[in-house]
Structure 1
């Protein structure tokens, strides 16, 4: 009997060890838990994960994407810095590591370092005094993010999509767990939604807004419809006929022009600023791929641009911003460009299937645009000939046909949290409570619609660029939901702000800042066994200062 008992204990021990190495059931195999669960693969997700690990917490990153970094590794290499003195913590560490990379002569494969120059957006590209670099190639950014993950031994589960229908379990105002479409379940003490879309936030029942608020909602000047307000030059400066047959309304409108009448200025709507791909192009003949012709290419879709060229516009190359190795971060510029205006209104709330369609529609539009300018005889010869010297960078996004993997989701859902950041915060019209980071960029909204004026000409609407006189703080209340809605969720990307204020916040350095601050707050909440709304701000502030976060300029 004694031997039998001992044999049973040995068998039990063997089974325990076996279960620790291999899953004992499909349930256990697909169940994951950690102190902090981060949903998303953006730059904010990475900095949040690093902060959590360095603060002694277990963390899992559940990423929709295979590649980490979002826009920072997806083509946006000409960084929207604003006042770079506001960028601290892990966000600044990211740009320091970029600087280290380009200090190595081996990084300059397609041009000499001395040939690059040192031009950035409102700053030098390579700041030797502060050991930071703000201009970079996509693959360099991705490697920095992957290094962050590897060095901190962070587990990332990739290509995992939240079951938005019934995948989230919430009890007593707290998220218990969520399930992904692959069948995996993730449970944690705290959760961070670090996506551009805010799907986890929405599934948790947190209040949010999509579209532009009326100016009256938050006592603002620059929100809502802003027709005939031209601040960036991204509008039709000449009187361009909008009809397929000029002068004949009965022939119908050209592609991309809305027949909807323009609403009064400052009125709210469901429209959101335009999306595009930030393209990495090359002018090196040994490292370029000719612009591809989409299968559904139709030159008639670009007739409006042809008419703009006919009117004498020649600014086509103005936003081919140079990054190292004879490449660009190419962005929208002018009245008709890479922004696919008015074609994204349903994206924030759309199903995954519909979002994929919208992304493909944007890719087809933009690929067709490039092909048109490079090949169509309708294009002025001097532009056509210059465009022939460019192509997609052969050594970037190689698994995706050299095309960026990340559509620029400039705005989607925006949480309505404990505190709503508005233009009154950005423009220093009120004092910001409990700051956890800073912003400084202009309130930058791209066009939201293309319409026909009362005079019968085409015009764009929604392009706003209002700069603050000084950097401003972002409140802790803008990254947490209301207490009655959820007590263990933080949202550093789809933050609580008005449309126009989000135009300033939505910069990648700021997302990295807020990602780190959100994780620090989550760790404090875990330590205290409390909800995120009950975190002692004074304790959090001291934590963030020790991490070299910049909360307020003295």
Structure 2
């Protein structure tokens, strides 16, 4: 009987796979877009015991982290927590196990933050497999069906089209938009923006005087090598035209460009150092350079474009950036010193094998931005008054330390002798990110951790893969809480969500000396997220620590909890006021008697707190 049933079941499953057959899938949590933010959301939701379906419109998961952006953007290692820290530790373990703990290749991984694209892909696949996340690739969103529930709308299901033309209807309890473009958010009718707000709208000094439709430029993060055994020489891309590149010859003759590949300035392709393991380089646009890879204005149709429109823009960027290198390597009009140097470089034989060794995704720095419950703006990451710390956000569900960074939104003058405008690199202290950036105002079961609610300037502080992974992790746990308590995402208990995040190793405030592996991590995060660490130290002369290399630095000054310091009377008075506000019986807290430390006070306060972190044990 059992064998007969099994045969019938297998036959039924096979019919579901026949071309033209209506297909259907369901899961507790449906994540559309397997970017790092989408992957982090899927893993977090699955950790909480939910069935999770992760849908990716292309044939490769991991977004830019598996497609060329291997030189991870962050400033201090102390800012890396939660899902990205887990990911980078796994990358480090891969190199240690493969090459040895103290090998040059392991050291080159920079504690696992500089992984080769193929290694990053392997680690992401392992993380998803461990949590039994179902992954559906080559399935592109066609539409979203919604229903109305009182004041809020609710997503009932999605319709996605597979590569072979078949359509799949996907239903779920909660939906998460993990795309760079906010495609699910837009399909659900959530308000969004593209372009720049004017300076007066949010009082942002980095914004233009008047609003406009300009968009931060895109380019490829190509992976290249000088190793002859690994090198594949570039060929002319489809549509290559020599006349598109001859105008670079006067620039080369001017002396402004010293090398084709270098770091950080005076070059065309920024080969970011130190190199990745196995002698590979992550190539990027040269900030404020004389020749740029990023192409402002060429991407304006991308955010709201259909598949054909995006493919056209993709091809135009590929033709420009690969074509430029082909020209520099092969055209006899290129000075011999530049031509010879350029020919020392090529693509990596063991990367992107299925795509001619070229990165399969364009670096979409910015696209749609949700207009949600909280619009993140410039002031959200600026210093609090007379404080080392940035603006306090009691509903924080993530933190970061990079600052607002834009590679330009408009190009003035010719392709090879003009300059970008709308470019800025704004240093800030580490900052918190409130829960409201993840949720819309009117869809009850949607979270958006990548195309988050923000102004253009605000988004330029959030648009980094480690930050998106922290936001994705928060979205996954928020979705889980909403399911378990039958809530809308607007009703999620943020303190409980914060507790769950702390238990999962994710920080909601930057603390430089109490990290996720420390026993006091959750206690210090709880106290700091309630405001207990603001005002500890005055604003430093510089918001970043001592430079290590390039963009990387030591911990931000003024952000240590220093738990071993004696509890002085002034701080004790401030902390007792906060304890009263939190409903903690202050008579049972240690006094500032010269014996008790800051750590003693915080541990006692945590034990006496009326807040219990339900779900943290999961």
- Normalising by the residue count of structure 1, what TM-score does the alignment of the two structures yield? 0.82
Question: Residues 394-543 of structure 1 correspond to what in structure 2 (within 5 A)?
Answer: 394-429=349-384, 430-452=391-413, 458-468=418-428, 470-482=429-441, 485-543=442-500
2:561 is aligned to none
1:320 is aligned to 271
Deviations 1:20-69 (A, max 9, x none): 87259769961111110000111112111111111011111111121110
Deviations 1:305-336 (A, max 9, x none): 32322221125322212211111000011232
Conserved? CA contact 2:347–2:357, under 8 Å: yes
Partner Cα distance (1:146, 1:24) in 2: 26
Partner Cα distance (1:16, 1:404) in 2: 43
1:122 is aligned to none
Conserved? CA contact 1:281–1:390, under 8 Å: yes
Bigger mean CA deviation after superposition, 297-306 or 67-76: 297-306
Question: Residues 167-186 of structure 1 correspond to what in structure 2 (within 5 A)?
Answer: 167-172=144-149, 173-181=153-161, 182-186=166-170
1:341 is aligned to 296
Which of 276, 289, 312 is the equivalent residue of 1:357? 312
2:104 is aligned to 114
2:579 is aligned to none
2:573 is aligned to none
Point out which structure has higher relative CO (alpha carbons under 8 A, 6+ apart).
1
Partner Cα distance (1:379, 1:327) in 2: 25
Q: Are 1:189 and 2:149 counterparts? A: no
Partner Cα distance (1:95, 1:117) in 2: 13
Q: CA deviation at 1:83?
A: 2.6
2:125 is aligned to 146
Partner Cα distance (1:82, 1:156) in 2: 32
Q: Are 1:373 and 2:331 counterparts? A: no
Structure 2 residue matching 1:447: 3-state secondary structure: strand
Structure 1 residue matching 2:141: 3-state secondary structure: coil
Structure 2 residue matching 1:33: 3-state secondary structure: strand
Q: Are 1:212 and 2:196 counterparts? A: yes
Taking structure 1 as reference, are residues 21 and 549 closer, same or farther at Cα in structure 2, changes over 3 Å only?
A: farther
Conserved? CA contact 2:295–2:411, under 8 Å: no
Deviations 1:130-165 (A, max 9, x none): xx321121001000001112222211011000004x
Conserved? CA contact 1:373–1:384, under 8 Å: yes
Q: Are 1:135 and 2:114 counterparts? A: yes
Bigger mean CA deviation after superposition, 76-85 or 194-203: 76-85
2:594 is aligned to none
Q: CA deviation at 1:202?
A: 0.3
Question: Residues 263-302 of structure 1 correspond to what in structure 2 (within 5 A)?
Answer: 266-302=209-245
Partner Cα distance (1:23, 1:460) in 2: 55
Q: CA deviation at 1:380?
A: 3.3
Taking structure 1 as reference, are residues 115 and 51 closer, same or farther at Cα in structure 2, changes over 3 Å only?
A: closer
Conserved? CA contact 1:438–1:473, under 8 Å: yes
Conserved? CA contact 1:51–1:516, under 8 Å: yes
Which of 89, 93, 97 is the equivalent residue of 2:90? 97
Q: CA deviation at 1:337?
A: 2.7
Question: Residues 150-165 of structure 1 correspond to what in structure 2 (within 5 A)?
Answer: 150-164=129-143
Bigger mean CA deviation after superposition, 49-58 or 99-108: 99-108
Structure 2 residue matching 1:61: 3-state secondary structure: strand
Deviations 1:457-480 (A, max 9, x none): 833212211111x21011110011
2:24 is aligned to 31
Taking structure 1 as reference, are residues 384 and 22 closer, same or farther at Cα in structure 2, changes over 3 Å only?
A: same
Conserved? CA contact 1:86–1:553, under 8 Å: yes
Partner Cα distance (1:42, 1:411) in 2: 14
Conserved? CA contact 1:432–1:475, under 8 Å: yes
Q: CA deviation at 1:387?
A: 1.0
Partner Cα distance (2:81, 2:190) in 1: 29
- Normalising by the residue count of structure 2, what TM-score does the alignment of the two structures yield? 0.74
Q: CA deviation at 1:271?
A: 1.4
Partner Cα distance (1:286, 1:545) in 2: 46
Bigger mean CA deviation after superposition, 319-328 or 375-384: 375-384
Taking structure 1 as reference, are residues 307 and 360 closer, same or farther at Cα in structure 2, changes over 3 Å only?
A: same
Taking structure 1 as reference, are residues 55 and 115 closer, same or farther at Cα in structure 2, changes over 3 Å only?
A: closer
Partner Cα distance (2:80, 2:104) in 1: 27
Conserved? CA contact 1:101–1:107, under 8 Å: no
Q: CA deviation at 1:370?
A: 0.9
Q: CA deviation at 1:407?
A: 0.6
Which of 283, 289, 294 is the equivalent residue of 1:330? 283
Partner Cα distance (1:417, 1:115) in 2: 43
Question: For structure 1, which runs of at least 5 residues remain unmatched after alignment?
Answer: 1-9, 119-124, 127-131, 225-265
Bigger mean CA deviation after superposition, 171-180 or 82-91: 82-91
Partner Cα distance (2:44, 2:26) in 1: 18
Q: CA deviation at 1:444?
A: 1.1
2:515 is aligned to none
Q: CA deviation at 1:113?
A: 4.1
Q: CA deviation at 1:284?
A: 0.8
Structure 1 residue matching 2:256: 3-state secondary structure: coil
Over the residues paired in the alignment, what is the CA RMSD in angstroms?
2.4
Q: CA deviation at 1:104?
A: 3.2
Partner Cα distance (2:142, 2:188) in 1: 12
